[in-house]
Amino acid sequence: MTRGLLVLLAIAGVLVPMAQAAAINVAFNKPAEANNVYPPLIPGNAVDGNWESAWAAALPGTPTLPMWLTVDLEGVYSIDSIVLVGPHGNVPGNTHVYNLYSTLDGFTWELITSGTLTDTFDYVHTVDTDGDAMRGIKYEVVGGTHWAGLYELEAYGSDVPEPSSLLLVAGALGLAALRLRRGIRA
């Protein structure tokens, strides 16, 4: 095995653990907003890590729907899954029909999926998002007869490499090759 190959493997050895880092909830305590709020059930309650605290709208059901909540991830992340925790124990059997969107720029929203959370009986949904890049997430309630709301929104993922990071890696590889050609030991 050549010294050059050893250097490349050593650098790759640093990068592999970063790529395999466990996914974390990148929505935790991020800025959240909603188009309607019933104080003290503020939007931030949907990203506080507590499944028993909720965001809720003040106006119930139609014709006030849709009600929505957005979370700014404050950066672009590769998201593997989104967990929605709906109402449980308020009005058992009540449904919350929702659309789930993502955005990269805060203006254009792309539909991820639609579903129905059912109070107490089916109130936790895990949505597989295949590592899609996201900057923000929107939960939009478009149906249901009671107050729209959400107890928690979790987004599990990891950092998407920024172009500057890739340049640093390329630079490190180039520097290693240059040092080898000149016989310089690291």
The answer to whether 152 contacts Ca ion (rule: CB under 5 A) is: yes
Residue number, 139 or 176, with CB nearest to Ca ion? 139
Instruction: Name the strand (E) or helix (H) holding 161.
Output: none
Per-residue string for binding with Ca ion, 41-80, x by CB under 5 A? ----x--x-x--x---------------------------
Listed ranges 36-44, 100-108, 131-139, 150-158: which one lies at the site for Ca ion (CB under 5 A): 150-158
Phi (first) and psi of residue 26, to 5 degrees: -80, -5
Residue number, 29 or 50, with CB nearest to Ca ion? 50
Residue number, 7 or 137, with CB nearest to Ca ion? 137
Tokens of 144: 């249901």
What CA–CA distance (Å, rounded) separates 132 from 107? 17
Site size for Ca ion (CB under 5 A)? 5
For residue 76, with 0-12 CB atoms within 10 Å meaning exposed, 13-18 middle and 19 or more buried, which class applies?
A: middle
Listed ranges 60-68, 90-98, 128-136, 146-154: which one lies at the site for Ca ion (CB under 5 A): 146-154
- Measured at CB, which residue is nearest to Ca ion? 53
Helical packing angle, 163-181 and 3-19, nearest 10°? 160
Closest CA to 142 of 96, 178, 101, 81: 96
The answer to whether 28 contacts Ca ion (rule: CB under 5 A) is: no
Closest CA to 92 of 116, 52, 121: 121
Q: Minimal distance in Å, beta carbon 174 to Ca ion?
A: 47
Q: Minimal distance in Å, beta carbon 152 to Ca ion?
A: 4
Residue number, 140 or 152, with CB nearest to Ca ion? 152
- Buried b vs exposed e over 26-50: b needs ≥16 C-beta within 10 Å? bbeebebbbebbbeebbbbbbbbee
Residue number, 51 or 131, with CB nearest to Ca ion? 51
The site for Ca ion (CB under 5 A) is made up of: 45, 48, 50, 53, 152
